[in-house]
């Protein structure tokens, strides 16, 4: 079985069939420039010392300082973080940001920690990686199970180490700690802009389409909320503990309120509330796996990588898949879905809204001048729709999948930067 990174690298195979790349570029895209593993000792509330393992991988900085989130999850590994840094490298190039790709993480279940333990862990992680990050070198941001509060702790810890305020070292911070308006919803909003642009090419209206959202975290929730406002019917949602499905439609705001209260999505909890007394809707409880195979128009993947594999790809009924998570469809599953005529709006394009608004935050932090939310939204919409249209046109021109076209656009930009710095052909006077 391929590692996550080896599987991620196979995405380049089809790209290489469409572009004549210098061998220097191929070599540099095969491995990260830096991979750091650190130990983080934390004094727990009961007095014992627990040591956690953390990672920071910088894949490539040819186009600028590296950029990428930090995730807290029990299954975080160096292999996973390396893959995520690779995808970030491609993603930043796809939407034209002056960044390379990086990623970080800690192997931990944050739900098992108190808030004080979580703060100690977060600050300890920054102390461990402080030498390899910075506003001109590597700029972290939130990812799975991290949030604005954690980013605020991290930015503060880095500033204490540097003995000066350095807000641009971390993005995704709270507004009162120099965060950007629109950042919290940016990943979901960017994905919706991508979906909206695709549906225009298909002459389809949101009101006629049913969505299921696998992964009801920050990105999945904001996507569902905004999609409902646009007219889409949200019929299914899931988190790590289960899924709810309702043909008559679900309300994302009400679901999130219950999730925050009860920490899970369960039919009996949701329907015990007054909302169920006021409606005649019937809610079906199901597993995450069952939601993936639901009969819907659009399946939105907003959880973790490898949710659709060769084991279940043949069972997917949705004709359109939107990837908000990183790598939710394996390379083997991609081939099966393509053979079945299922369209995939790829992660490296669809979820780029988060890093794009992180870029806006970085720019605002460096300039000391902050934008209103409308300006953030307008800038995000302009970038996402422009790059999405270019990729859709490229896929038509090359008769390729949307994923191949997206990677082709990103790799061409990375290659251009690498070639400008000199390659074997240049030094051999060719």
Whether residue 168 is found in the same domain as residue 229: no
Residue 55: what pLDDT?
98
Pair (173, 184) in one structural domain: no
Are 237 and 220 contacting, i.e. CB atoms less than 8 angstroms apart?
yes
Same domain? For 72 and 190 the reply is no
d(CA 360, CA 202): 31
- Say what the pTM is: 0.91
* 291 shares a domain with 142: no
146 close to 70: Cβ distance less than 8 angstroms = yes
Determine, yes or no, domain membership for 252.
yes
CATH classification at residue 343: 3.40.50.720
Q: Are 122 and 114 spatial neighbours (Cβ–Cβ below 8 Å)?
A: no
Strand residue runs (E) in 187-287? 210-214, 233-239, 242-245, 284-286
User: Among 177, 192, 209, which residue terminates a domain?
Assistant: 177
List residues with catalytic annotation.
Answer: 103
Determine, yes or no, domain membership for 23: no
Q: How far apart are CA 110 and CA 404, in angstroms?
A: 35
The residue assigned the tokens 């251009």 is 416
The last residue of one of the domains, among 177, 195, 229, is: 177
- Find residue 106's DSSP bridge partners: 54, 72
- pLDDT for 33 equals 96
Statement to judge: residues 231 and 321 lie in one domain:
yes
Structural domain ending residue among the three candidates 177, 204, 236: 177
Q: Do 167 and 201 share a structural domain?
A: no
Round to the nearest angstrom and report the end-to-end CA distance of the chain: 41
Measure the CA–CA gap between 413 and 19, rounded to whole angstroms.
Answer: 12
- Chain centroid, CA 359 distance in Å: 14
Token representation of residue 356: 């794009």
140 lies in a domain? Answer: yes
Asked if residue 304 and residue 252 are part of one domain, the reply reads: yes
Mean pLDDT (10-residue bins), the chain, 430 residues: 84 82 87 97 98 98 97 96 96 97 98 97 98 98 94 98 97 96 94 96 92 92 95 91 88 83 55 38 81 95 92 96 94 94 96 96 97 96 97 95 95 92 78
Query: What is the domain count for the chain?
Result: 2
Picking from 370, 371, 367, 365, the residue whose alpha carbon sits closest to that of residue 168 is 365
For residue 194, tell me if it sits in a domain.
Answer: yes
Whether 191 and 293 map to the same domain: the answer is: yes
Distance CA 98, CA 333 (A): 32
Residues 196 and 317 in one domain: yes
Looking at the fold, whether 129 and 218 belong to one and the same domain comes out as no
Q: How many CB atoms lie within 10 A of CB 4?
A: 20
Query: What confidence score (pLDDT) does residue 62 get?
Result: 95
Give the per-residue pLDDT at 21: 83
What is the spatial distance between Cα 82 and Cα 94, in angstroms, rounded to a whole number?
19
Q: Is 55 left (phi over 0), alpha (psi -120 to 50) or beta?
A: beta
Give the CATH number for residue 132. Answer: 3.40.50.10860
Residue 13 within any structural domain of the chain: no
Domain identity same for 153 and 204: no
For residue 5, being part of any structural domain is answered with no
In a domain, 21, yes or no: no
**Inside any domain, residue 62:** yes
Contact 248, 282 (CB under 8 A): yes
> What pLDDT is stored for residue 17 in this prediction?
82
On whether both 71 and 105 belong to a single domain, the answer is yes
Positive or negative torsion for Cα 65, 138, 357, 394: positive
Domain span at 243: 180-430
What's residue 270's pLDDT? 45
The candidate with the shortest Cα–Cα distance to 37, out of 137, 116, 100, 106, is 106
């Amino acid at each position: 079985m391929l590692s996550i990174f080896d599987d991620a690298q196979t995405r380049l195979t089809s790209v290489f069939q469409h572009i004549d790349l210098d061998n220097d570029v191929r070599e540099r895209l095969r491995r990260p420039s830096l991979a750091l593993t650190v130990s983080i000792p934390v004094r727990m509330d009961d007095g014992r010392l627990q040591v956690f393992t953390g990672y920071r991988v910088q894949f490539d900085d040819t186009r600028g300082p590296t950029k990428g989130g930090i995730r807290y999850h029990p299954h975080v590994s160096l292999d996973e973080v390396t893959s995520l840094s690779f995808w970030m490298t491609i993603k930043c190039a796809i939407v034209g940001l002056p960044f390379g790709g990086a990623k970080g993480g800690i192997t931990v279940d944050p739900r098992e920690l108190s808030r004080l333990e979580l703060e100690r862990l977060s600050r300890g992680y920054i102390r461990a990686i402080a030498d390899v990050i910075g506003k001109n070198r590597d700029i972290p941001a939130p990812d799975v199970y991290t949030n604005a509060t954690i980013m605020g702790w991290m930015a503060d810890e880095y500033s204490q180490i540097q003995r000066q305020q350095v807000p641009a070292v971390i993005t995704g911070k709270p507004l009162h700690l120099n965060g950007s308006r629109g950042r919290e919803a940016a990943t979901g909003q960017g994905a919706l802009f991508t979906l909206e642009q695709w549906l225009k090419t298909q002459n389809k209206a949101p009101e006629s389409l049913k969505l299921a959202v696998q992964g009801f975290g920050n990105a999945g929730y904001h996507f569902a909320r905004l999609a409902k406002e646009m007219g889409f019917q949200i019929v299914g949602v899931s988190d790590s503990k289960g899924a709810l499905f309702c043909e008559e439609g679900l309300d994302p705001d009400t679901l999130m309120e219950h999730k925050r209260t009860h920490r899970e999505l369960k039919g009996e909890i949701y329907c015990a509330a007054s909302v169920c007394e006021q409606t005649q809707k019937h809610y079906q409880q199901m597993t995450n796996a069952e939601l993936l195979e639901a009969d819907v128009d659009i399946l939105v993947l907003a959880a973790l990588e490898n949710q659709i594999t060769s084991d279940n790809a043949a069972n997917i009924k949705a004709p359109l898949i939107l990837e908000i998570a990183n790598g939710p469809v394996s390379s083997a599953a991609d081939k099966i879905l393509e053979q079945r005529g299922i369209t995939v709006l790829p992660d490296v394009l669809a979820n780029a809204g988060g890093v794009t608004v992180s870029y806006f935050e970085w720019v605002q932090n460096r300039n000391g001048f902050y934008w209103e939310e409308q300006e953030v939204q307008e800038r995000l919409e302009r970038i996402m729709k422009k790059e999405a249209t270019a990729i859709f046109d490229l896929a038509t021109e090359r008769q390729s999948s949307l994923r191949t076209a997206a990677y082709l656009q990103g790799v061409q930009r990375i290659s251009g930067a690498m070639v400008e710095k000199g390659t074997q052909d240049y030094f051999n006077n060719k």
